[in-house]
Structure 1
Amino acid sequence: MITIPENAKGLIFDLDGTIANTMQHHFESWRKAILPYGIDFNADLFMQLTGKPRWATVEKLNELFGTKMDPIAVGNVKASHFKTLVDSTEEIAVVADVVRKYHSVLPMSIGTGSTRNGAKKTLEIIKMQHFFDFVITADDITNPKPHPETFLKCAALMKVNPKDCVVFEDGILGMQAAKDAGMMVVDVNDYFETVFVL
């Protein structure tokens, strides 16, 4: 069971891999999209990039591997494949339990690298769309994780000082963003492990 610090005044949740068990779906979808370009998109590489919007992920891969993939075209292939898998998404119970426990007790928001439509769909599938006061997505910010903008925007909308916010994250980039925002961080990997299947 996850316990939160007593001084917490607001809770911010990443979505994919934190509340929603979507990481295998994302992994498979990225592998399919990148396969034609000869990149070994393995689990370690995936976890290093988790939290970035699609376009930023492709740009980073181009930088790492010297490829010239079109961020929009490759991102669209990834998104199309993900849509075929998303309906089987389940909640990550240990985190969803925290959401239910603090609903109407503390202000809560989502801070995700997902698109607005993607986040909305995922929350609907796991039936958790009504728990959050605000949902900040890749469509709402200029600087993606590991920049703290996503989480700082959540805090501002919730009217909670960043230092009084707890961020629930599974991604390296997201945890970095939360720390840089001056927030407390719960690493959900300590409570739930995604095992990637090729």
Structure 2
Amino acid sequence: MIDQLDSNILQVLSTYKGLIFDMDGTLIDSMPAHLDAWKVTAEHYHFPFDRTWLNGLGGMPGEAIVELINDKYDVNLLPIEVSEFRMDVFERFENNTGLVAITNQILNHFYGLKKLAVGTGSPKLSAMHLLKEAGILAKLDAVVTANDVQLHKPHPDTFLLAASNIDLPANTCIVFEDTTLGMQAAHRAGMDCFMVDDNQLTLHPCS
């Protein structure tokens, strides 16, 4: 219930007009399934699997991650092919995903009171499916996915477009994220950021 949330958090959030949430690892506990899919992909395409490193890239589109894998391990994988393979594997695991309690409590509390959006690095089809299955999609005023911007996190474009789509200035919105890349994107967009870790929130102001 919302009364389990720190009153200080609610007081902070009361000063913003819009709340923008990352999806994977922030609203939906899908990162373990994503990482398991990367493990299968690594085994299939014969590149090293570094779970901690890949977890830190949450919010970045699959094709961009494959390009980093190519650089890191001096391999020559085809980003589109490997990313599509990984997403096919993920779809077999996605039924194991759940909701992140604290961010969903916040989203439900402010539903109808503030503008709510999602800014994710996941492909549009996957994101819309996950959000619908989780019962979140109908509560949102806007969804920005990897297909909607050319420059992805840590670039600010995802969150700037989300703010634009809910007709709010960026500095009146706050972002919820679970990765450093996502927080960097929020700050570059001129937005404060709550980091989510183990169902706890920590505020990281933009400046």
Please confirm whether the aligned pair reaches a TM-score higher than 0.5, indicating the same fold.
yes
Find the aligned partners of 1:27 and 1:179 in 2 and give their Cα distance: 26
Confirm or deny: 8 A CA contact 2:58 2:179 kept in the other structure.
Answer: yes
Alignment correspondent of 2:204: none
Equivalent runs, 1:109-148 vs 2, <5 Å: 109-148=117-156
Equivalent runs, 1:150-165 vs 2, <5 Å: 150-165=158-173
Task: Give the TM-score, by structure 2 length.
Answer: 0.88
Q: Which amino acid aligns with 2:121?
A: G
Q: How many Å apart are 1:64 and its aligned residue?
A: 1.4
Equivalent runs, 1:1-198 vs 2, <5 Å: 1=5, 3-4=9-10, 5=12, 6-189=14-197, 191-192=199-200
Find the aligned partners of 2:60 and 2:18 in 1 and give their Cα distance: 23
How many percent of aligned residue pairs carry the same amino acid? 32
Confirm or deny: 8 A CA contact 2:37 2:86 kept in the other structure.
Answer: yes
Confirm or deny: 8 A CA contact 1:87 1:125 kept in the other structure.
Answer: no
Task: Give the TM-score, by structure 1 length.
Answer: 0.92
Find the aligned partners of 2:66 and 2:200 in 1 and give their Cα distance: 27
Bigger fraction of residues in strand:
2
RMSD: 1.6
Confirm or deny: 8 A CA contact 1:179 1:185 kept in the other structure.
Answer: yes
Secondary structure in 2 matching 1:139:
helix
Confirm or deny: 8 A CA contact 1:34 1:74 kept in the other structure.
Answer: no
Q: RCO higher in 1 or 2 (8 Å CA, sep ≥ 6)?
A: 1
Find the aligned partners of 1:139 and 1:191 in 2 and give their Cα distance: 29
Secondary structure in 2 matching 1:188:
strand
Q: Which amino acid aligns with 2:189?
A: A
Confirm or deny: 8 A CA contact 2:31 2:55 kept in the other structure.
Answer: no
Find the aligned partners of 1:53 and 1:17 in 2 and give their Cα distance: 14
Deviations 1:147-171 (A, max 9, x none): 0000000111111111111100001
Deviations 1:87-112 (A, max 9, x none): 23211111101010000100010000
Secondary structure in 2 matching 1:80:
helix
Find the aligned partners of 1:80 and 1:121 in 2 and give their Cα distance: 14
Q: Which amino acid aligns with 1:133?
A: D
Find the aligned partners of 1:129 and 1:88 in 2 and give their Cα distance: 19
Secondary structure in 1 matching 2:19:
strand
Deviations 1:133-158 (A, max 9, x none): 00000000010100000000011111
Find the aligned partners of 1:61 and 1:191 in 2 and give their Cα distance: 30
Q: Which amino acid aligns with 1:125?
A: E
The unaligned stretches of length 5 or more in structure 2 are 202-207
Find the aligned partners of 2:114 and 2:89 in 1 and give their Cα distance: 36
